[in-house]
Chains A and B, each alone.
Chain A
Amino acid sequence: MTRNWQVDRRTVLKGLGVSLALPFLEAMIPPLRAAQTPKPPVRFGIWYYPQGSLPEHWVPTEVGPLTKLPSVLRPFEAVRGKTTVISNLTNSCYYEGRFSRGGHQHEMHVFSCAKNIRDQGVRSASVSIDQFIAGKVGQETPVKSLTLVDGGARSFWHDNATPIAGEFSPRIVFDRLFRRQVNKSGLSDSSILDVVRDQAVSLKQRVGRQDQRQLDQYLESVRATETQLHLVEKRQKEIEADHSRKQVNLKVEGLPETPHYRFDHDDSKQVQNYLRLMSDLVVLAFQTDTTRVGSLNLWPFGEFPDIVSIGTEFSHHALAHAGANYDPKNGDPIAREAFREITVWLNKNCAYLLQKLDSIQEPNGTLLDNCLILNISDLAVGGDHSVENIPTVLFGSGGGILKTGRHIVAEKFTPVANLYVELLNRMGIPVAEFGDSKIHPERKHDGRLPALG
């Protein structure tokens, strides 16, 4: 152990790193207290990429034990034993009142499973699985959830009318997670919140009683921020009072000084650095139990000139249309191979996150063991916008709620909502349904996923 933790007991920023106590670090817990140490919570993560995958390259040929990973899943070899591949889920849904087995707008459904996607005139889905879980488990952590990288605010939803614009700036993510909640003068944001709440109340009276919804949203946001500040302060006090918990220094490599962060989206090296930075932040947030829910959206990265090694096209979308249809015989084989290369590269980046999570020890295993990380796309294959058999891979066992190292074949056309209902129940969040699990034309198994065993 370094002596760094002795320098300052308080949670302080150290340059571009953070020094704080880890709630679930085994080495830090004296044997006498180990029994009282709470079991680490389940952390839920989503690694979402657009354009789908290629069925012949991600669906393992054998059912049951995962002995050999197919080509686009090969980056996950190091965590193969902690991997659960699920085939045959469908992301078909009602779109503007009509049942749709493929096409546009399915990215609004894959996490929300909304009963009716609306995107013409009114844009509406429903609460997405990450936010639903955050609503249940996020109350105990300083940050309710992280939604990283803005994908045009279409996939993740607070509620049926409020999509979430993801956070693009790593520095802002870091500051949200760990910024000092007391400013340099010892003047806190809590006092400001007291004042602005009173201002909002007085403004409401001034505006009139007819419509208070807008300002009520503002007040809700004030409350949410207060709750968060309160949690940070509470946790701070606990840590200060508990001398057995020791501090460690955690560094985030390459964290920019300012919130302003721009890079060349066509340069895969820069994209990779960015994705690693964001992944590091997710790991840090999970490790310190600052949040328990995190989603990463890879939507903005569409061009891969230095990843594609064959052909002349390198736009993910264009390649999907040229070569990536559900039936490999339909379309240009060179484009299909180029598309495969991109899919592999995206998964390599996901593997970085997973291996990092797996390198961190918690009392009952690694951090990855206590996670459920969902690697998923909204389309089966981008070219024909098909949504039957979307690529679905889970990592981690959620603290033992899932038997891993397997390929699960669900009954054909099982709605993706069934996976969520199953996971929620196993996570100790009893629900009878999620989204369209009860009204989907392909509904089955009472919304559950028995194949998960």
Chain B
Amino acid sequence: MRWKILRRGSWGTILLLVSCATMHAEEDFGRTIRPILKAQCFSCHSSQSQKGKLDLEHYLQLSQVVNDLKTWQAVAEKIDAGTMPPRGKPPVSDKERALITGWVGRLVKQVESAEPTDPGPSFPRRITRREYRNAVRDVLHFEADVESYLPEARSQSGYDNQIGQLAFPPELLEKYLMLADSVVEGASWNLGNLRNKEPINRWHKVWEGENKLTAHQAAERNLRLLARLAFRRPPDDKEVALLLKPFDWALAVRKDFFHNQRYAIKALLVMPQFLYRTETLPAGNKPAPVDDYELAGRLAAFLWSSIPDPELLDVAAAGHLHKPDVLRNQVRRMLKDPKGGRLAAEFPEQWLFGRQQTHLLDQVKFPDYTPALAKASSEELALVFAKIIREHRSLLDLLDADYTYVNEDLAALYGIKNVKDRTMREVKLTDRRRGGVLGMAIAHQKTSMPSRTSPTNRGKWVLDALLGTPPPPPPPDLNNSVDGNATNPEGRPLTLREKLDRHGKQGTSCANCHLKMDPIGYALENFDPIGRYRDKDGNRPVENTGKLADGTQLKGVESLKQVLLQRKERFVRNLIEHLLTYALGRDLQAYDLPTIRRLSTVVSSKQYRADVLIEEIVLSYPFLHKRAPRANEIARGNGEKQP
């Protein structure tokens, strides 16, 4: 009975599993919770007014609440912390507060403790331009100029590999044809220079008659080899026949094996089997395990941003890849491989800054901000993350650590002596104002305005990127011009801090969010826009103090690190959600909560080790399973939510 309902796969699936307790939750919602909200919250958060984009009125059933559980957790937290209802509105009583927070807390527990039963939809997904570049690099040893040919697809969650952003607009195939032209021309030139181990040289030998093959047979052998990698599985006979067609046509025109083979490779590079990572979909809505080749494809995309290598495909061919111990071994091998560095090079920067509106910094005002410094700042983050993975270290090293990586440019910025060249190397830190992302130059560069710091941006960034609790976006019709001529009573122009403080106090609509963001940013004021430590801003001493909404006093970056370390569970959970988003290539949904919970539990019990998290994600239910998309799940437009 329950099984049948499950197969229908409604959005309330999770609810049915938690049966009895949830019935109470449903009853409580209608009888107790909604009436409190109606009396206390609807005046601002109704379907009509939707202040802060929050509409509490439209939740009529528990299933809606479960689908938006994250929103409800935030609601409960705000009520619990006393920041909602805001000052000036009638407060909720202690009893009501306890009812709401208790109810949400129980609901979250119920939902999270269920077994994951929905892996989310499997769409044919177009590879990202990084994946294209890496695949061509790994197989043909050529650097494809993907940035010039292909559009970037950055989603609102900040990642470039999200299904919603990877549409195939009409003009794209032509771009792929042009790009493939440049690859086959460039790669063959390259291959002329790089003798020895190149795959195409193996093919050369084949053609030279090593096995006494005809041109057609030799081409077939080569194209099968290449297609197995590019398609992430062996091509079937029909596909092989199509792969060979261009070669045979070309052969009829001109007897030049290499030339004709290039033409066939060009065709291969625009085939949907390469440009899309596809999975065979189980019938109906029933989830099914991915097959071993599909798993290899997922793994290569997650860890290498590329296609599988021959070893991974061999393990898949033998049918062993899905076995947990084999899978763990492959993950470890892949992370050790030089290609394993790609995860560290891509994920942290997309996670931390992918959603960030960045500004070009003023190079006249900051002559030390050179492209080389920007590059080193980006590499610092990647290298620290790579070390954390490689040495089985804790993810909390991202909040505070006694090491980092610098080259001479960064060392000069940080005031570290005796680093003399452009190579990045590990250094021990005694000054704990550095260490962890808050001490990294990239964090300050990506959150500043062109010519000054922005405490508001930095505060928002900490809340969003590190804690996963972004303040709501500014209202759509906001007039956010700051009065440039404002002065104090003595006629002195106001400092930025004074302007912001005014901003934070004027009227509740600004203050509600700015009182949360700005104090965090104040604690980081010792870092100038390019990440250099300063005690003075111009002629004035830096004011690096701020008071959080809960009364905590902040002074400087070290105090902020402490506050974040106290909230390490939240930090790690946010990071887990982000890495899972990146690994699955889609926004997380309510049905992912049990998975997130499981990952949190394991990672917490293993000293927050990064490598553990990666392995556990690979072994998690949604990574190992697939199901067909439902009609209401659109792949385009960055949304998989129900309308």
B471 part of interface (Cβ distance < 8 Å): no
Q: CB within 8 Å of A: which of B402-417?
A: none
The 9 closest A-B pairs by CB, nearest first: A165-B151, A210-B628, A208-B281, A161-B637, A259-B148, A122-B639, A217-B168, A221-B173, A224-B170
A122 close to B637 (CB less than 8 A): yes
Contact partner of A214 among B50, B123, B638, CB < 8 A? B123
Kindly list chain B residues whose C-beta atoms are within 8 Å of the C-beta of A187. 246, 249-250, 253, 263
Interface size class of A (residues with CB under 8 A): 35 or more
The answer to whether A96 and B145 touch across the interface, beta carbons within 8 angstroms, is no
Choice from B173, B245, B362 contacting A225 with Cβ under 8 Å: B173
Check A228 for interface membership: any CB of B closer than 8 A.
yes
CA–CA, A101 and B181, complex, Å: 48
- Choice from B172, B245, B359, B481 contacting A195 with Cβ under 8 Å: B245
CA distance A6 to B532 in the complex (A): 65
Task: Tell me the interface secondary structure of chain A in the complex.
Answer: mixed
Interface residues of A in 87-114 (CB under 8 A from B): 95-96, 98, 100-105
* Minimum distance in angstroms from A186 CB to a CB of chain B: 6
Q: How far is the CB of A406 from chain B (nearest CB, A)?
A: 33
Collect the chain B residues with CB atoms within 8 Å of residue A144's CB: 170-171
Q: How far is the CA of A300 from the CA of B639 in the complex (A)?
A: 27
Residue B178 at the A interface, CB < 8 A?
A: yes
The CA-CA distance from A168 to B149 in the complex, in Å, is 9
A325 near B: Cβ within 8 Å? yes
9 A-B contact pairs sorted by A residue (CB < 8 Å): A122-B641, A124-B637, A179-B178, A185-B254, A189-B177, A200-B272, A211-B629, A214-B123, A266-B363
Question: Which residues of A are found within 8 Å of B181, using beta-carbon distances?
Answer: 183
> Which among A161, A199, A213, A258 has the highest number of chain B CB atoms within 10 Å?
A199
Task: From known contacts A96-B53, A103-B476, A123-B638, infer whether A214 and B276 are also in contact, taking CB-CB under 8 Å.
Answer: yes
Contact between A221 and B170 (Cβ–Cβ < 8 Å)? yes
Taken residue by residue from 30 to 50, chain B's Cβ proximity to chain A (1 for < 8 Å, 0 otherwise) reads as 000000000000000000001
List B residues 442-461 near A (Cβ within 8 Å): 449-451
Q: Which chain A residues lie closer than 8 Å to B124 at the CB level?
A: 203, 207, 211, 214-215
Judged by a CB distance under 8 angstroms, whether B512 is at the interface is no
Q: Does A265 contact B (CB under 8 A)?
A: yes
Are A318 and B479 interface neighbours, CB within 8 A? no
Residues of chain B within 8 A of A160, CB atoms compared? 637
Q: How far is the CA of A435 from the CA of B481 in the complex (A)?
A: 30
Question: Is A360 in the interface zone, CB < 8 Å from B?
Answer: no
Does B173 contact A335, Cβ atoms closer than 8 Å?
no
- Assuming the contacts A189-B177, A191-B246, A313-B451, asked whether A101 and B53 have C-beta atoms less than 8 A apart, the reply is no
| Alpha-carbon distance A321/B479, docked complex (angstroms) | 10
> Contact at A218–B272, with CB atoms within 8 Å?
yes
**In the complex, chain B residues 604-625 whose Cβ is within 8 Å of any chain A Cβ:** none
Listed stretches A78-86, A169-177, A394-402; interface member: A169-177
Which residues of B sit under 8 angstroms from A101, Cβ to Cβ?
A: 477
Q: Is B318 an interface residue (CB 8 A)?
A: no
B 234-269 to A, binary, CB cutoff 8 A, 1 in contact else 0? 000011001101100110011010011001001100
Q: How far is the CA of A321 from the CA of B282 in the complex (A)?
A: 55
| CB–CB A228/B174 < 8 A | yes
Whether the pair B169, A384 counts as a contact (CB closer than 8 A) is no
Beta-carbon nearest neighbor of B121 in chain A: A211
Q: Report the minimal beta-carbon distance from B358 to chain A, rounded to whole angstroms.
A: 11
Kindly list chain B residues whose C-beta atoms are within 8 Å of the C-beta of A303. 360, 362, 450
Contact, CB under 8 Å: A221 / B172: yes
The tally of CB-CB contacts under 8 A between chains A and B is 225
Closest to A147 in B: B171
Interface contact A222-B145, CB-CB below 8 Å: no
Residues of chain A with a CB closer than 8 A to B20's CB: none
Contacts of B481 in A (CB 8 A): 321, 325, 330-331, 383-384
Taking A104-B478, A171-B148 as given, write out 8 further A-B residue pairs in contact, using a Cβ cutoff of 8 Å, ordered by the A residue number. Answer: A102-B479, A121-B639, A122-B638, A172-B175, A191-B246, A211-B121, A302-B360, A303-B362
| Chain A 142-171: CB-based contact to B (< 8 A → 1; otherwise 0) | 001000001001000010111011001101
A260 proximal to B (CB < 8 A): yes
Q: How far is the CB of A43 from chain B (nearest CB, A)?
A: 19
A359 part of interface (Cβ distance < 8 Å): no
Say yes or no: B451 contacts A318, CB within 8 Å: yes
Any A CB within 8 A of the CB of B507: no
Q: Which B residue sits closest to A176, measured CB to CB?
A: B174
Q: In chain A between 284 and 332, which residues have their CB closer than 8 angstroms to a CB of chain B?
A: 302-303, 305, 313, 315, 318, 321-323, 325, 330-332
Residues of A within 8 A of B279 (CB): 207
Please state if A185 and B253 are interface contacts (CB–CB under 8 Å): yes
Q: In the bound complex, what is the Cα–Cα distance between A163 and B133 (angstroms)?
A: 23
A192 touches B276 (CB 8 A): no
Q: How far is the CB of A136 from the nearest CB of chain B, in Å? A: 15
In the bound complex, do residue A224 and residue B171 qualify as a contact, i.e. CB atoms below 8 Å apart? yes
Q: How far is the CA of A195 from the CA of B173 in the complex (A)?
A: 13
A36 within 8 Å of B (CB atoms): no
A210-240 vs B, CB cutoff 8 Å, 1 = contact: the mask equals 1101110110111011001000000000000
**B170 in contact with A158 (CB, 8 Å):** yes
The distance in angstroms between the C-alpha atoms of A215 and B421, with both chains bound, is 50
Closest beta carbon of chain B to A152's beta carbon, Å: 9
- Chain A residues closer than 8 Å to B259, beta-carbon distance: 185
- In Å, the complex CA distance between A104 and B267 comes to 43
Shortest Cβ distance from B126 into A: residue = A214
Which residues of the partner chain A approach B639 to less than 8 Å between Cβ atoms? 121-122
Which of chain A's residues have a CB closer than 8 A to the CB of B151? 150, 153, 165
Contact A214 B635 (CB under 8 A): yes
